[in-house]
Structure 1
Amino acid sequence: MATKEFKLPDVGEGVAEGELVNWLVAPGDTVSEDQPVAEVETDKALVEVPSPYDGTVKELLAEEGEMVPVGNVIITFTVGGDAEADEPSSESGADAEPDAPTEPDASAEPGASAEPEAPGAEADAVEATEGRVFAPPSARRLARELGVNVAAVNGSGPGGRVTDADVRNHAESGGTGETGGEAKASKGPKQVDMSSGKSAVSRREDADGEPAGAGTGGASASAAPSTVERAGRERTLAAPATRRVADEEGVDLNDVPTDETRDGEAFVTAEQVRSYAADVAAAEEAEAAGAGGPSATAGAGNGAAAGASTATGGEETVPYRGVRRTIGNQMAESKYTAPHVSHHDTVVIDDLVEAREELKEHAAERDVKLTYLPFVMKALVAGLKEFPVLNSELREDEEEIVLKKEYNVGIAVATDAGLMVPVVKDVDQKSLLQLAEEVNDLASRARERKLSREEMQGGTFTITNFGAVGGEYATPIINYPETAILGLGAIDERPVAEDGEVRAAHTLPLSLSIDHRVIDGAEAGRFTNHVMEYLENPQLLLLE
């Protein structure tokens, strides 16, 4: 038996860190080599990180939403032989720790380690020794969102662990947490005591399922589940990663209940801290919603989850992370690095509308949807060849402007997760139908979060189509370190004055933003005029 550490690998060329968006496993889970264990967000790409071992997850050393430097240990595994047999407390896998003691804890309830290989006994042992629900933070958050009392959910994971799927199944079957006493009479819902001045966290039950200390009050588990006091220790041992989690959660390690010891001192794991913090948060939500009494936590599922946004005056908070934070960092770097100037113009495209209508049917016969974008891309490349400074990059350290000889056009795509920019490579070497087919494929996979990192790299110029939502003009931000970006407004009939008369014509508004350190305004105007010439006379595209 051995404990193996797994460091965050370089999930993309030159990436120094990544955001751990979601854990796909929990402590105690059995994993196989190459099985995804986490999702990591880097530079707008969501990447699954696979396990390098066959074994059992021992501890998760990073929090969801945390930025982790490449090379930092994020997870440990128990590998070799029977992983569960090596863990005396593996039946409560949420508390596994890399250097956990090899002897059973003397303070554990009777029968806690008996026959761990029996699934039924294992689940009973979990409840007897810990008296709390084992569920990762994601499952607890989901339970609160769905109005489910996590204590009433039957866990299907190792040691009775509650998974996200368990919570969803419970919600779909009509369970709300209100009937937790009926669904699990031997366990009973957790109760929050907001008036005691003590930690509102249910922690321990005896082997019969009654809350610890219930005998002194003469109450049954289903009638009056107890609340457990803060541990109130003067000293607690914990790994640095666990202490970091405690700081982030605002938890005092000395308050977190634990049965584990190291060198005679209480030892707390990161999972225990997260569970404790989640229970305290649920208690606070219940109090804010006006819940109380034996069903306070059960009611919090419906009341607190719905009222969480009104408890602070109607505000709602949304995590600033993942793709949204990546976009924010990229936009800030671009805006504060490159002095932006925007050039606006409008092109009459009656002939282009007519040409596209004629070609659309031929494209459909080849199962290709032909939009205006491929025409714009071809016209754009014609302009970049004539004015190469717009297809460039400023390398400040080397004090040089690099004029790119490749024409790789990024296409900004709005997705539910935020803006993504897949890149169409070698636009100058592809036909309209090839471009149409590739753009449709990339846009579709961008919305499904199925793009690879490589498909969003190597761009030399970017197009953004804000006209898709009805806009005309904008001041798009450059996709740094590129030096220009072209925004497309909505194609519509607008009044156009020609030869002293006004007529309705199909027009396309254009918004070009440039890095004024590299590109002069006059050159931006001439470039735009060149692109407009090709859009006004689409037959010129046959020459490209």
Structure 2
Amino acid sequence: MPPVESPRRQKIPEIIRPNRIACAFWSLNQEMTPAHKVNFVREIDATAMDRLRQETHNGEGLKPSYTALIVKAATIALKEYPYANRAILGPPFFRRIVQFNNMDITVAIERNVPQAESVVLADTILDTDRKSLVQITRELQHSLTADAEQHPRWKLFFTLLSKMPVFLSRWVIRAPRYLPNEWVKHRGNACFVNSPAKYGIDFVIADMIWPLTVMFGWVKERPIAIDGKVEVRKTMPLSIIFDRRIMAGAPAARFFNRLAEILENADCELR
């Protein structure tokens, strides 16, 4: 006679209530407009990037991060193709295309915020056209580790998320989309750089509130065709997401191909 099974005990799902920080941060998602976005993806040879990183380390004692290389390459490409450095800003019924002339590029910086795992600091590196790869790398390192008192942008952002009433912090966080001067002050220009590469992610396609997002994946050895032969080299998955209301496909492709060219010839282009 088979054993009698006891009735299965139903597990009741746990309801997690988002805290103030998460609720305020989620307001940024409301600015994303994936209906207007298009993405391009390609895999590029990272040999020249690694060569430049090692040479810089030998000469200056610090190896530039891949993020710094992307920021610098995007700076060059934006200067050559200024039509990529635009955004549609303004209040409803009064939105217009704004041309940015500054080279202040914003980068996603992960900060450890208890009970708010989704919070990312968007830190702007100012005047990237005037800074070296080493200077940009040091600023990125500072953004990762500095406490609030050492980092005014992080202090302001964390205060908005944790101290203000949620309805007010949401309004303040979203205000730059209506005011071009505030956009430049708090969000830089049109370009945002993001990467989940350190978590072992190859390709990522993620809409952001910036009209142009440059993303790269895990740099590692992969098979690649070189002069008709298959070789194993380090490669970088590279992608952009752009607002097609600002750039059509062909102009965006020219920008993207130039960006890839700069990175694949980094030891010449980024010195």
- Report TM bin, short chain: 0.7 to 0.9
Output the CA distance in 1 between the equivalents of 2:10 and 2:130. Answer: 57
**In the alignment, what sits opposite 1:513?**
241
Letter in 2 for 1:452: K
- Are 2:125 and 1:424 aligned? yes
SS in 2 for 1:473: coil
Letter in 2 for 1:350: T
- Report the Cα offset of residue 314 of structure 1: 4.6
Output the CA distance in 2 between the equivalents of 1:448 and 1:369. Answer: 27
Letter in 2 for 1:489: G
Greater Cα radius of gyration, structure 1 or 2? 1
Output the CA distance in 2 between the equivalents of 1:425 and 1:381. Answer: 11
**In the alignment, what sits opposite 1:469?**
199
- Report the Cα offset of residue 452 of structure 1: 3.1
**In the alignment, what sits opposite 2:83?**
389
More RCO (CA 8 Å, sep 6+): 2
Letter in 2 for 1:381: T
- Distance verdict in 2 for CA 1:473–1:536, change over 3 Å: same
Letter in 2 for 1:443: L
1:490 to 210, 214, 218: 218
Structure 2 portions without partners, runs of 5+: 1-8, 114-118, 159-184
**In the alignment, what sits opposite 1:121?**
none
Cα RMSD (Å): 2.7
**In the alignment, what sits opposite 2:27?**
329
- Distance verdict in 2 for CA 1:369–1:359, change over 3 Å: closer
- Distance verdict in 2 for CA 1:486–1:312, change over 3 Å: farther
Aligned ranges 1:434-473 → 2 under 5 Å: 434-445=135-146, 451-453=154-156, 457-460=186-189, 461-473=191-203
- Report the Cα offset of residue 327 of structure 1: 3.3
Aligned ranges 1:84-483 → 2 under 5 Å: 313-335=11-33, 339-364=36-61, 368=62, 370-395=64-89, 397-417=93-113, 418-445=119-146, 451-453=154-156, 457-460=186-189, 461-478=191-208, 480=209, 482-483=210-211
Letter in 2 for 1:494: R
Aligned ranges 1:58-97 → 2 under 5 Å: none
- Are 2:235 and 1:541 aligned? no
- Are 2:253 and 1:525 aligned? yes
Letter in 1 for 2:238: L
Output the CA distance in 1 between the equivalents of 2:147 and 2:102. Answer: 23
SS in 1 for 2:87: strand
- Report the Cα offset of residue 399 of structure 1: 4.4
Output the CA distance in 2 between the equivalents of 1:422 and 1:355. Answer: 25
Contact 2:87–2:99 under 8 Å retained in 1: yes
Contact 1:331–1:477 under 8 Å retained in 2: no
**In the alignment, what sits opposite 1:500?**
228
Letter in 1 for 2:132: S
Output the CA distance in 1 between the equivalents of 2:203 and 2:148. Answer: 24
Output the CA distance in 1 between the equivalents of 2:234 and 2:28. Answer: 35
- Report the Cα offset of residue 458 of structure 1: 3.3
Letter in 1 for 2:29: M
Aligned ranges 1:30-45 → 2 under 5 Å: none
Output the CA distance in 2 between the equivalents of 1:521 and 1:321. Answer: 41
- Distance verdict in 2 for CA 1:399–1:420, change over 3 Å: closer
Contact 2:201–2:217 under 8 Å retained in 1: yes
- Report the Cα offset of residue 369 of structure 1: 5.3
Q: TM-score w.r.t. structure 1 length?
A: 0.39
Output the CA distance in 2 between the equivalents of 1:399 and 1:495. Answer: 46
Output the CA distance in 2 between the equivalents of 1:340 and 1:326. Answer: 24
- Report the Cα offset of residue 378 of structure 1: 1.0
Paired residue total: 226
SS in 1 for 2:270: helix
- Distance verdict in 2 for CA 1:446–1:472, change over 3 Å: farther
Output the CA distance in 1 between the equivalents of 2:229 and 2:148. Answer: 45
SS in 1 for 2:146: helix
Contact 1:420–1:446 under 8 Å retained in 2: no
Contact 1:486–1:510 under 8 Å retained in 2: yes
User: Greater share of helix residues, 1 or 2?
Assistant: 2
